[in-house]
Amino acid sequence: MRITSLHIQGIRQLADLELAPVAGLTVIRGANESGKSTIQTALEMVLFHDPTSIAPALLDLRTWGTTTDPRVRLEFEHEGRAGSLEKVFAGARGSVELSFGGTVSRDPDEVRAIVADITGLASEEFLRSTASVRHGELDDLDQDALRDRLQRSISGAGEGTQAAHRLLAEAVLRYRGDGGEGSGRIDRTRDELERTRAALVAGETSLAQLERDRSALALAHDRRADLDARLVRDQEQVEVSERAMRLLTSATESEARYMRLRQAADLQERINAAERSHPLPMPLPELRARTQRIKELQFQIQELEVLSELRGVAPSGSVKTVRPPRWQPLALAAIVALVAAIAVAAAVSVVGLLPGLETWGLAAAGILLLAALVFGLMSLRKARRVRLAKAQAQMQAAEIDRRLQGKGQEDEQLRDARRERDALLTVIGVPDVYAADTLLERAAAHNAGVDELRAEQRGLLAGVEVTGDVIAERDRAAAEMEQSRHVLSALGGAGIDPAALREQALRTLQGTQTEREAAIQDEGLAQGRVDQNEVDAEQVALLAERIPALEEQLAAMERRVRVYDLTLATLDVAEGDTVKQAARYLEERMGDDVARITDGRYRQVRVDEHDLSFEVWSPELPGWVAVQQLSEGTLDQVYLAARLGLVRQVTQGRRPPLIFDDPFVTFDDDRAARSAAVLKDLAADHQVLLLTASDRYDDIADAVVQLPTPAARDTDGPSADRLPQMLSGGSLTTGANGAGPHRSASWPTLDVTDRAPWVVAG
C-alpha cells in the first residue's frame, strides 16, 4: 500500500493540511508544534479508528475554536490499483467510505477488514507496535518497560490482549478461587450442591421413614380397628354363651317341669279314668246319705215290726212307773249352812263376839260355807235327775199313749218306711241294705283311690305353676322345652356346653382386650413417630428442584472456566509461539540492520524467546553481551532494528507505509545517519514517512515536506478567545525536492505553554 495523498482537516493544529507522500522516503520536516505527530495520529485514525466512536479522547482532537468534525482522507495505491479512504469523526454521525477495486464500502467493520488486508496490519495496536514509531518512544521507556512493549509488539498483543489476559485470569480466579477453601464460585456452588444433595438424601430418607412410619401407623390403626371389632365379637360371644347358659337353665327347668307335668297329666288321666269307671251312678255323699237313710228306715221298720209284734203279745199295764228323787232337802241344807257360815263369820269379824276364838270361828264359817256349796251342788244334780225322770216318764206315758192310740197308725208308718226303703234301694240299684252298705264301702274305697291319685298329683305339682288343665299345661311345657332345645341346638357348640363356651369366650375376650391395649399402645407409638418426623415433603421437593439448577449452574461455570482456561492458555501459547517465531526471525533479520546502524560493531543478535532479552556478540570479549549493558543509544538502535524486523515479519508480503516520528533524536550523528540509511533501504520496499524537526535527512529523502511553523505569540497574556485566530491561517508550499504541496511557513510562531494540549504529541 502506498499513500498518494493525505488530507487532514480539523485535527488539532492542522485545520486543513494536504500532503502527497512519495513512494520511497518522504521526510516531513517541521518545527516543534508544527503538527508532525498529529500527522502520525491522523494516519492511525484513518486506518483504524471507528469514525462513530464517541470516545472523549477522539473528540478532543478537534481543532480548538472550531466545530468542524475531524476529517481525514487518504488516497492510496495498492497492487497497481488506486483507492481512497475517508473518515469523518463525528460521533454517532461519523462516517467512512472506502473506495477500492471498483467497490465502495461504508461499513466500518468491512472497511477495517479491507484495510487490514491491504496493509497486513490487523489493528491500530499492531500498527503502533510495529509500523508506527512515535517520537521519544524508544528513549522515554526504561529497559523493562521497553522489553514489555517489545514483547507485546513482537507478539502482536496490545493492550487488548493484556486486558483479555487479565480479565480471563481474574474470571478464572473468581470462579476457581485462590486455592483457599470455598474461595471460588465453583467451589461455593459445588459445596452448595453437595450440601443440597446431602440434605436431599437426608430428606428422602426421612420421607421414606415417614412413609414407613405412616405405613406402620396405618397397620396399627387397622389392627386396632380389627381388635375393636374382635372385641365386640368376643363380647357378643360371651353374651351368647351367657344366653346359652340361660337358655340351658331354662331348658332344663322346662324339661323338669315337663316331666312333672307329664306325670301329673298321667295321674290326671288315671283320675279321669277312675272317675269314668266309678261304680255308682251318683256321688258318694248322696249314696252315703241314701244308704244311711235306708239303714234308718230299716231300723224304723224293725222297730215298728217289733212294736207290732209286741202290741199283739203284751198288755199295756206292764209299764213300770219310776218315782222321781227329791232335791229340796239338800237345797235347804245348803241354805242353812250358808246362813250359818255368814252368821259365824259376821260374829267373829264384825261383832267380835268370840274374842280369842276368831280363828276357830272363821274356820267354822269356812266349813259351813263348804258344806253349803256341797249341798247346793248335790241339790242341783238331784234336780236334773228329777227333770230327766220326769221327761222319761212323760215319754213312757206318751208311748203308752201312742201304743194305746192304735195299731193302724203304726202299720201305716211301717208301710211308708218299707216303701221309702225299697225306693231308695231301687235308686241305688241294690236289693237290700247290706248290698247298699257293701256298695257304699266299695264306692268309698274307689273314691279313696281317686283321692290318693289326686294327692299324688298335688305332690307332683307342688311348686309348679299350673293355670288350668294339667294336660294342656304339660303340652305347653313340652312346647317350651322343645323351643329351648331348638334354640340351644341353633347355638351350636354353645348350646352343648355353654359354661365351657363362656369360660372360653371370657378367656378370648380377655386376650383380645390385652391385645387391643397393646395395639392402642402401638398405634400411639406409631402416631408419635409420625408426629416426631418433622420432614416436610415440600421442603424436600425444593431441594430436589434446586439440585438440577445447581448442577446446570455448576456445569455452566465449569464449561465457562474450561473455555476461559483454554482461551487463556491459548493466548499464552499464541504469545509464546509468536514470540518464538519472532525471536528467530529477528535474530536472522536484525543482524544486518544492527551491523549497518553500528557500522559493523555488532553483527550478531540473540533473542531470548522467553523474556525477549537481547544479546549482541561483542567482539572485544569475545562473547554475548546483554543489550542493557550497552549505551542507551545503542540500545535504542537495537530495538529500532527489532521493530523494523518485526514489520517485515508481521506484514509478510504486504507493504504497509511506515511512519517514524523522530526516532533517532538520541542517536549520535553518525548512527543517526546510518539509521536513516537503513530507513532508506527499508523505503525500497515500504513507503516511509519520516517526521522530523531536523534537516539532516533531507539528503537521503525522496521528498521533503516542510510544515509551517506556528508563528502566533501570546503578547497579551492568556486569552482563550484568541486561540482560533492563532490556529488558523497558513498555506501549503511545495517542498524543495519536488514533493507535494505543503502549507507555507507563514504560521505564527507559538510558544509552548502548558495551555497547549498538543505539546505532548511533539
Partner 1 sequence: MPRLLHLSDVHLGARHPGLGASAPKLRERQVAALRRAIDAGIEARVDVTLVAGDLFDSNAQPRRMVEAAAIELRRLTERGIRVVLIPGIHDSWEGGSIYRVFDLRLMAGLSEGSDLLTVLTPNRTEVLFRDLDLLVYGRVATTRRVGRSPLADFTVLADDRARWRVAMVHGTIVGAADDDREDVRFTAEEIAASGVDYLAIGHAHGWHTGRSGGTVWTAPGSVEALEPEDEDAGRVAIVELAERSGRKSVEVSEAVVGRTRFSSLTLDAAEFVTPAALVTRLRTLADPDVVLDVTLRGVAQAWLDVDPAALSAGLADAFLAVRLRDDSQAAAPGATDAAPGSFERTFQDVLATHIASADAAHDARTAADARAAVHLGRQLLADPRQAGLI
Give me the least distance between CB of 207 and partner 1, in Å please.
Answer: 5
Nearer to partner 1, 11 or 157 (CB): 157
Nearer to partner 1, 219 or 340 (CB): 219
Q: Pick out residues in 81-120 that bind partner 1 (CB under 8 A).
A: 113, 116-117, 120
Nearer to partner 1, 142 or 538 (CB): 538
In 3D space, the residue among 119, 136, 187 whose CA is nearest the CA of residue 557 turns out to be: 187
Nearer to partner 1, 346 or 573 (CB): 573
Assess 53 for contact with partner 1 (CB under 8 A).
Answer: no
Q: Pick out residues in 538-577 that bind partner 1 (CB under 8 A).
A: 538, 541-542, 544-549, 552-553, 556, 559-560, 562-564, 566-567, 570-571, 573-575, 577
List Cβ neighbours of 661 (8 Å cut-off, separation of 6 or more): 36, 37, 40, 133, 134, 135, 137, 691, 692, 762
Assess 644 for contact with partner 1 (CB under 8 A).
Answer: no
Q: For partner 1, what does the binding mask look like between residues 211 and 230, x meaning CB under 8 A? A: xxxxxxxx--xx--------
How far apart, in whole angstroms, are the C-alpha atoms of residue 338 and residue 351? 18
Q: How do beta strands 81-88 and 71-78 pair?
A: antiparallel
Cα-to-chain-centroid distance, residue 670: 94
Nearest-Å Rg of the Cα atoms of the chain is 86
Q: Which stretch binds partner 1 (CB under 8 A): 306-314, 363-371, 644-652, 660-668?
A: 644-652
Nearer to partner 1, 263 or 553 (CB): 553
**Amino acid type, 161:** T
- Which residue in 55, 82, 163, 198 binds partner 1 (CB under 8 A)? 163
Give a three-class secondary structure readout of 581-592: HHHHHHHHHHHH
Q: DSSP labels for 614-682?
A: EEEEETTTTEEEEGGGS-HHHHHHHHHHHHHHHHHHHHTT----EEEESTTTTS-HHHHHHHHHHHHHH
**Amino acid type, 74:** L
List Cβ neighbours of 71 (8 Å cut-off, separation of 6 or more): 7, 8, 9, 10, 86, 87, 88, 89
Q: Pick out residues in 140-159 that bind partner 1 (CB under 8 A).
A: 155-157
Assess 325 for contact with partner 1 (CB under 8 A).
Answer: no
In 3D space, the residue among 574, 651, 576 whose CA is nearest the CA of residue 608 turns out to be: 576
Nearer to partner 1, 45 or 481 (CB): 45
Residues 495 and 248: beta-carbon distance below 8 Å:
yes
Assess 57 for contact with partner 1 (CB under 8 A).
Answer: no
How far apart, in whole angstroms, are the C-alpha atoms of residue 491 and residue 515? 27
The DSSP H or E segment spanning 290 is helix 284-313
Give me the least distance between CB of 100 and partner 1, in Å please.
Answer: 15
Assess 210 for contact with partner 1 (CB under 8 A).
Answer: yes
Q: Which stretch binds partner 1 (CB under 8 A): 263-271, 343-351, 473-481, 645-653?
A: 645-653
| β-bridge partners, 318 | none
Give me the least distance between CB of 746 and partner 1, in Å please.
Answer: 44
Nearer to partner 1, 479 or 556 (CB): 556
Assess 588 for contact with partner 1 (CB under 8 A).
Answer: no
Give me the least distance between CB of 650 and partner 1, in Å please.
Answer: 5
How far apart, in whole angstroms, are the C-alpha atoms of residue 298 and residue 289? 14
Distances (CA, A) of 517 to 229, 238, 349, 506, 512: 13, 19, 107, 16, 8
Kindly determine how many residues on this chain lie close enough to bind partner 1 according to the rule CB under 8 A: 66
How far apart, in whole angstroms, are the C-alpha atoms of residue 161 and residue 147? 16
Q: Pick out residues in 165-204 that bind partner 1 (CB under 8 A).
A: 167-168, 171
Give me the least distance between CB of 225 and partner 1, in Å please.
Answer: 10
Which parts of this chain interact with partner 1 (CB under 8 A)?
Answer: 113, 116-117, 120, 122, 126, 155-157, 160-161, 163-164, 167-168, 171, 207, 210-218, 221-222, 530, 535-538, 541-542, 544-549, 552-553, 556, 559-560, 562-564, 566-567, 570-571, 573-575, 577-578, 581-582, 585, 649-652, 654
